[in-house]
Amino acid sequence: MELTVYMAHWCPDCRAAKKFLDQHKIPYTEIDIEATPGAAETVIEHVGKRAIPQFVMDGEWVQPYKPGQGFLYEEMAARFGVKHTRSS
C-alpha cells in the first residue's frame, strides 16, 4: 500500500496519526501542509476544507479522525489490518 499523510507539526490529531502509524510500522510519506508549497490547496481540492490529518491510501483520501473526537484508532486499525487498543 502506498500511504501519504498530509499533516502539520502543530496538529495534535496529526501527531496521534503518526504515532499510530509508527507504532504499527506502517510506512508512509509525510507532507507538511505548512512547509510544502501547494499542499494545503491539494487538501482543500480533495476534501473541501483545510482538514488534517488526511491519509491518501493508494489514491483514496481518508480522514482518520473526527473533529472533537480525535483519531479513529479502531477504524484505522481495521483498515490497516492491525490490532490496536488505545493503550498501545
Distance CA 44, CA 21 (A): 23
Distance CA 70, CA 16 (A): 8
Work out the pLDDT band at 86, boundaries 50, 70, 90.
low
Domain extent for 46: 16-58+69-82+84-88
- pLDDT tens for 13-68 read 999 999 999 999 999 999 999 999 999 999 999 999 999 999 999 999 999 999 88
Residue at 78 is within a domain: yes
Residue at 7 is within a domain: no
Residue at 36 is within a domain: yes
Residue at 64 is within a domain: no
Residue at 88 is within a domain: yes
Residue at 28 is within a domain: yes
Residue 88 pLDDT: 46
Tally of structural domains, the chain = 1
Question: With 90 as the cut, is the pLDDT of residue 85 above it?
Answer: no
| pTM: predicted TM-score of the whole model, two decimal places | 0.91
Work out the pLDDT band at 5, boundaries 50, 70, 90.
very high
